[in-house]
Structure 1
C-alpha cells in the first residue's frame, strides 16, 4: 500500500514561464528527495533496464543525440547529457514537441534531490482548460514510481500500474495531485477560481469522474 498523503507532500511543484525563440512557454517543475546517492539515481534514470522498473519500458539509443521511445507515451532526442548531474531531451507526443530536463543534486546523508522541468508551448485556451495538472499529474505518478522503486526495490509493471491507476487509491492520488498543481498555479499568479476549475477538469480527465 502507498501512503498517498506522504507522497503528495514529499513533492515540490512549481509553475512558471520562459521566453524561447518561438515565444513564451509554460514551465512545470517537480522535485523530490530520494534515499540514494546521485550515481544510483542517475543510473535509475538513464538505464533502459531500470527505467522500465519504475516508469515505462523504453527503447532506442539512450545517449547524447540518440532517439528514445517510451512504450505508449512520448519519444524524443537526447540533446544534452552531463553525467551524473543532468540531461535534457525533447518530449514528442501527439504531434507536439516540448522539452524536459532532469537535474540531480546531492543532499545531506547521502540522499539525492531529483528535479524535472518540463517546458512546453501551450496555447491559452488549453492552459485555461486544464492548467499545469495536465502534465503535472503524470509527472507526479512518475515520481511516485521512483519513490516506490527506491523504497522497496520492487519493479512496477505496466499491468500493475494500470490496475493501481484504476483503483480507489490511484484516483485519490490523482485527485490530490491535481489540487496541489492548482495551488502551484495560484502561487504563480492564476486566479484561484480559474485554477480550481482547471484542476476539476484535469481530475475528471485522469479519473473518469465528471467534473463539478
Structure 2
C-alpha cells in the first residue's frame, strides 16, 4: 500500500515565471545515497524498473527516447550532481540536481518552457506526471517495489489514480500561490489535467 498523503507531502512544488520563461520546480528527499539515486536516474536497466523503458546514447550530445513518451537531447551531465536534457522539444528543458544531506539525498527538478507555450497553467499538464515519476523513484530506491514490478501497470492502478487526484489538488494550490494565472485559466488547465491523470473527475472536484 502507498501512503498517498505521505508521498504527496514529501514533494515541494513551485511555479514561477522570469521574463519569458515559466518554470515548474519539484523538490523531495530520498532515503538513499546520492550515488544510488544518480544511478537509478541514469542506468537504463534501472530506469525501466520505476519509470519506463528508455533507449538512446545516454551521454552529453546523445539523445534518448522514453517508450511511449517524450524524448530529447542530453545537454549537460555532471555525475553524480546534475544533468540537463531537452524533453519533448528543444525549448522544453528539464534539469535534475542531487545533493547529499546526511543519510538522505535531496533532489530538485526544474522543468522550464517559454511562457508562450501556454503560460504558468501548463504546470497542471506536467506537474502530476512528474509527481508520479518521483513517487516511482522513491518506491524503487527505498526497496518497496517487487522484482518484476511493471511501472506502466502500476500507473493505471486505482491507488495511483488516487495519488494523481491528490497531486492535482497540490498543483492547483501551487498555481494559486504563484499568482500567475486567472481562475478561468486555472479551471481550463485543471479540467485538462483531470482528464489526463484522473479520468472520471472534473475541475469542479478540485476548485
The question of a shared fold, defined as TM-score above 0.5 by the shorter chain, is answered with yes
Residue in 1 that maps onto 2:71: 75
Structure 1 residues 140-165: Cα deviation after superposition (integer angstroms, max 9, x where no partner): 010010011012253687x8433333
Residue pair 2:8, 2:166 contacting (<8 A) in 1 also? yes
Residue pair 1:88, 1:100 contacting (<8 A) in 2 also? yes
Over 3 Å counting, the alpha-carbon distance change for 1:202 and 1:127 in structure 2 is farther
> What is the root-mean-square deviation in Å for CA atoms of aligned residues?
2.3
Residue in 1 that maps onto 2:164: 174
- For structure 2, list consecutive stretches of 5 or more residues without a partner in the other structure: none
- For structure 1, list consecutive stretches of 5 or more residues without a partner in the other structure: none
Residue in 1 that maps onto 2:97: 103
Structure 1 residues 8-31: Cα deviation after superposition (integer angstroms, max 9, x where no partner): 010111101234xxxx12110111
1:57-72 paired onto structure 2 within 5 Å: 57-72=53-68
Provide the TM-score with structure 1 as the length reference.
Answer: 0.85
Name the SS for the 1:64 alignment partner. Answer: coil
- 1:195 positional shift: 6.5
Residue pair 1:41, 1:112 contacting (<8 A) in 2 also? yes
Residue in 2 that maps onto 1:87: 83
Over 3 Å counting, the alpha-carbon distance change for 1:64 and 1:155 in structure 2 is farther
CA distance in 2, matches of 1:83, 1:161: 25
Residue pair 2:29, 2:105 contacting (<8 A) in 1 also? yes
- 1:58 positional shift: 0.7
Over 3 Å counting, the alpha-carbon distance change for 1:200 and 1:156 in structure 2 is farther
- 1:131 positional shift: 3.8
CA distance in 2, matches of 1:156, 1:118: 30
Q: Is 2:141 the counterpart of 1:150?
A: yes
Over 3 Å counting, the alpha-carbon distance change for 1:3 and 1:156 in structure 2 is farther
CA distance in 2, matches of 1:170, 1:122: 30
